Amino acid sequence: MKMFLISDNVDTQTGMRLAGVESVVVHERQEFQEALENAVKDPEVGVVLITEGFGRKFPDIISDKKVELKRTLIVEIPDRHGTGRRPDFITAYVNEAIGLKL
């Protein structure tokens, strides 16, 4: 089983290629949709990695594809711009989960 990355920047692509992950860089909605379709059609690809930017830009495409797929896993990963989470994410999570104010 292989992983495939769909990225919106060359830096993330370069890092993942150094780890042996094939990838493509796209920017527009149509390009992303085509890259995702091609990745999930490949029987050797079991995990498709996408940068969080695409998760924010195209949630409809991603959620539709996740429901449709039976074999391939789609995973959002942080890119060089950060995780998109609040700086106090862990503190807020603990506070919400167990009611402990840190």
Phi/psi-derived region of residue 51, left when phi > 0, alpha when psi is between -120 and 50, beta in every other case: beta
- The model's pTM is 0.78
Average pLDDT, stretch 10-28?
92
Q: What percent of the chain has pLDDT over 90?
A: 51
Q: SS3 for 78? A: coil
pLDDT in tens, 29-39: 999 999 999 99
Hey, what CATH topology would domain 2-81 get? Rossmann fold (3.40.50)
